[in-house]
Amino acid sequence: MQTVIVDKKYDKKNLSKVLLDTFSGLTMDTFYKALRKKDIRINNIRTNKNEVVHEGDEIKIFVIDELLYHSFIPQIIYEDDNILVVNKPSGIEVVGNANSLATCLKQIRNSFIEPCHRLDRNTTGLVLFAKNEPALEILLHKFKNHEIEKHYLATVYGIPKIKKQTLTSYLFKDNKKSFVYISDEPRKGYVKIITSYSILEKHIKENYSILDITLHTGKTHQIRAHLAHIGHPILGDGKYGNNQINKQFGYKTQRLCSYSFTFHFSTNSGILNYLDGKQITLA
């Protein structure tokens, strides 16, 4: 049995949404089987419906851990005395629940380890962790100061007319809906975002392309929303993409991968000075 207290961001969301986001190994088949058997309780009341829950509700699910959690060993891409870079699979949160990447690493290492940035649950690829507090403080500052260059690979619907471009728009985050909106003009409550892309591959017959993406600002869902805004949603993205197109290509999660870090330190970096100029990439 596992217990979940509904967070504010899941207020008025379906029960399935909360549980599927919390337990990476849980499938819809297992969820509905648990409902049929009344193995889920909300505020200690058994339920057999995929009902709406509210902030502060207590959910208990009586399902064995093997069906709730993915059992996986994180793939280490790079490690030294101060940092750890891991290849995150799809369906795993970086932080936020008992089956997150950060929690898994802490259990395996039994030592200090903290993420320096986040990836969306269904975005794959490189995540940078600090192995001590001084390194964490430095890296958080470096990310904030744009001294760490990140590159992503995105498979998008269609082929952009311009081969290489830097996009500037404005983003509004709706916390209640867990959704962001993009505007080409400044608006109240919107923040400036800058995203660059270049086309790596064109697949004209199938009508899709593969882009290299660089973020100059790092806002929630920025890449996904920005590409959708220009008419080239990421394939498999159920939130900002087109479900009919996703079904056509057979993708159930977004085809977005963080594949490269390059450290460009413009100021003294203390114990991490040796990283200046270093690039870490997925093979």
120 is annotated as an active-site residue: yes
Is 228 within 8 Å of 151 (Cβ atoms)?
Answer: no
Cα 211 from chain centroid (whole Å): 18
Helix (H) or strand (E) holding 197: strand 191-203
Q: Pick from 153, 127, 167, 158: which is nearest to 261 by CA?
A: 127
For 83, the 3-state DSSP assignment is strand
CA–CA distance from 265 to each of 10, 146, 149, 262 (Å)? 38, 9, 10, 10
**One-letter amino acid of 185:** E
**Dihedral of the alpha carbons of 157, 158, 162, 165, in degrees to the nearest 10:** 0
Helix (H) or strand (E) holding 34: helix 28-36
Is 218 in a helix, a strand, or coil?
Answer: coil
Instruction: Find the radius of gyration of the CA atoms of the chain.
Output: 20
Instruction: Give the three-class secondary structure for 50.
Output: coil
Contacts with 46 (C-beta within 8 Å, 6 or more apart), sequence order: 38, 40
Structure tokens at 144: 């904030």
Q: Which of 11, 21, 29, 120 is catalytic?
A: 120
Q: What are the catalytic residues?
A: 120
